[in-house]
Structure 1
Amino acid sequence: MLDEILTAIEKFNTIIIHRHVRPDPDALGSQAALQEVIRVSYPEKQVFSVGENEPSLSFLAEMDDVDDALYANALVIVCDTANTDRIDDERYQRGEMLIKIDHHPEVDQYGDLQWVEPSASSTSEMIYSLSLHGELLHMNTTAARLLYAGIVGDTGRFMYPNTTKRTMAYAGDLLAYDFDRQQLFDGLYQIKPEIAKLKGYILQNYILGESGLSTIRLTQDIMNEFGLDASQTSQTVSTLGELEGVVAWVMFVEEKNQIRARLRSKGPIINHIAEAFHGGGHPLASGATVYSWEEADKLCQALDVVCSAYAKKLK
């Protein structure tokens, strides 16, 4: 599969790289790093990254404006996206050839080539693996910084169980490149005072059920009170996981016409629930979308069932 992907990259003069909506460091890191690696390796090619810009991650990468006409003879690569309805920018279907590179459990089969590796910690880890395969692609400091950010983000700074011996070896390789690690960590984890205050609100207002499911609802009024938008609340998603007795949690964030749900778990498998509510992701970390607080209640009920079942298994 890696040989076939490299052959396709070598063949096409225009390459357009997509990733999922609401990008996290791995989505942006893998997308922008692949773009950079191809640019360095093939200076004559046109290589673009597309999708909505994410202000909170602008220190990592910003997207390109791509004319529709460029898709006609292009290779399109989608990074870090298990299902087609989460691909940012629907024009991904317009290319001459489509490749899927992803580490999530398989949801939708799409693309002329599919490289899906759920055992990888991150799609960034996969992109680094691709760069090591053969002698066609070359790394540089910019790409190394992006891939390191993606790996760190999706492993929770190497604390999540998806961290493997290979993950640590690759991270060590990437640190050999001369980028400012402290500046990178500041961008990923340093929070503003209003985020710290929101964390305080969460700790004072969360709900914890008997099953070990914890929930918090951040309405538009609450976010206005703290002067925050929905994307900024991602920096608080791990807050409830630090509490004793919590085995899974969900943060609901109200946006215009929808409510974003961020699901996390310390054991119960939750990605199938996210998929049932217009989302998807990893077994222990997923995202979903609901369109009313009544639907949010149904999502909580589904999570409560799996948390209760998990608790019984532990007894």
Structure 2
Amino acid sequence: MNSQIIDTIKQYSTIIIHRHVRPDPDAYGSQLGLKYILEHNYPDKRILAAGTHDYTMDFLDFPDLVEDQDFEGALVIVTDTANTERVDDQRYKTGAKLIKIDHHPNDDAYGDIVSVDTTASSASELIYELFTYGRDHEGWTMTAKAARLLYAGIIGDTGRFLFPSTTQKTFAVAGELIKYDFDRNALHNGMYEMDRKLLHLQGYMYQNFKMDENGAAHVKITKDILKEFDVTATDTSLLVGSLGNVKGMKAWVILIEEDTEIRVRLRSKGPIINTLAKEFGGGGHPLASGATAYSWQEADQVIARLAEICAAAN
């Protein structure tokens, strides 16, 4: 598959790379890591990264301004995005050819070329595998800028190598990436340091979460609570794993109210929860998923279903 992807890349003078909405480090890492690899090895090509910038990713990098005419005759590559609804910038459909590179379950097999490996820790790991094929067969080389982004994507999606998705291959890839000259300490600080106001909200979560006898937990963060702590819904992405430190916790959902919807962030230590996310128009990994509710009544249905899943897992 990597040979087909590289052969296709070689055929196009303009390549536009997309990732998912509400981006995390792996979305930016795989998208922009690939961008810099291709720019470095094909300096005659125009490589663009599409999507709306998220200020929480300022420490990593920034996407490009992509115009409508850029898509004419362009190759489009979408990384780290399971389904078409979550592609950031729906103009991805207007290119000449589409490649999907992802590590989520392939329920939506969009694209002319589909490269999906659910055993990979992250999309960034898959981009590194693409690089190694290019290195061995096309003479590709890596830059520190690209290595930094891929490393960020891997540690982001593995929770600093703590999640079950981490494999021996993941450690081997990370070991190769840290050979490049970038400041790992500064990168880690950018990913995990939090403002005091966010830590105060974390304290609120610890004081107010509810957990049943089967280890299913939830916490609701309303717009009023966000206002009280002076944080945004996007800021709360850094707190999703917090409840995992609670003894006896099996799976949890954090519900964050926005103007027109409620973000549903699901995490698990064992029970499969991406099937639950799909019930509410979302998706993701078996142990880390997201969805959207459009009322607190619907959010309560998510809580009830999570309780059922944890009870069945006992």
Q: Do they superpose with TM above 0.5?
A: yes
2:197 paired residue number: 194
Matched, 1:5 2:5: yes
Q: State the match for 1:95 in structure 2.
A: 95
Deviation at 1:240, TM superposition (A): 0.7
Q: Which residue of 2 aligns with 1:56?
A: 56
Tell me how far apart the structure 2 counterparts of residues 155 and 138 of structure 1 sit (CA, whole Å): 25
Q: Distance in 2 between matches of 1:180 and 1:144?
A: 11
The residue that corresponds to 2:85 in the other structure is: 85
Cα gap change, 1:22 to 1:227, in 2 (>3 Å): same
Match of 1:117 in 2: 117
Normalization by structure 1: what TM-score? 0.98
1:185 is matched with which residue?
188
Give the corresponding residue for 1:160. 163
Q: Indicate the residue corresponding to 2:151 in structure 1.
A: 148
Decide whether aligned partners of structure 1 residues 136 and 257 sit closer, same or farther in structure 2, where only a CA change above 3 A counts.
farther
* In structure 2, C-alpha distance between the alignment counterparts of 1:310 and 1:58, rounded to whole Å: 40
CA shift digits 1:12-49 (9 cap, x unpaired): 00000001100000011000000000000011111100
Superposed CA deviations along residues 27-79 of structure 1, whole A, max 9, x for unmatched, are 11000000000000011111100111110111111111111011110000000
Structure 1, unaligned stretches of length 5 or more?
A: none
Question: How much has 1:137 moved relative to structure 2?
Answer: 3.1
* Letter of the 1:302 counterpart: R
2:76 aligns to what? 76
After superposition, residues 1-315 of structure 1 pair within 5 angstroms as: 1-133=1-133, 134-311=137-314
- Residues of 2 paired with 1:165 and 1:211: CA distance? 32
Distance 1:216 1:23 in 2: 22
2:138 aligns to what SS in structure 1?
coil
| Contact 1:6-1:136 at 8 Å conserved across structures | no
Q: Aligned partners of 1:39, 1:136: CA distance in 2, in Å?
A: 14
The whole-number CA distance in structure 1 between the counterparts of 2:65 and 2:261 is 27
- Secondary structure, counterpart of 1:179 in structure 2: coil
CA distance in 2, matches of 1:136, 1:3: 13
Q: What is the distance in 1 between the residues matched to 2:141 and 2:112?
A: 24
Equivalent-residue separation in structure 2 for 1:239 and 1:163 (angstroms): 19
- Kindly indicate whether the alpha-carbon contact (under 8 Å) linking 1:237 and 1:251 is maintained by their aligned counterparts in 2: yes
- What's the offset of the Cα at 1:217? 0.5
**How many residue pairs get matched?**
311
CA distance in 2, matches of 1:63, 1:136: 27
Q: Provide the rounded CA distance (Å) in 1 between the counterparts of 2:207 and 2:305.
A: 24
Secondary structure, in 3 states, of the residue corresponding to 2:207?
A: helix
In 2: Cα distance, 1:235 partner to 1:293 partner: 23
CA distance in 2 between partners of 1:101 and 1:137 (Å): 19
Post-superposition, which runs of at least 4 consecutive aligned residues in structure 1 deviate over 2 A?
134-138
The unaligned stretches of length 5 or more in structure 2 are none
Aligned AA (1:280) = G
- Per the TM alignment, residue 136 of structure 1 is displaced from its structure 2 partner at its CA by 4.7
TM-score relative to the length of structure 2: 0.98
- Aligned-partner Cα distance in 2 for 1:128–1:57: 21
Q: How far did 1:135 drift?
A: 2.4
Secondary structure of 1:230 counterpart: coil
Equivalents in 1 of 2:122, 2:245: separation in Å?
23
Counterpart CA distance in 1 for 2:259 and 2:127 is: 35
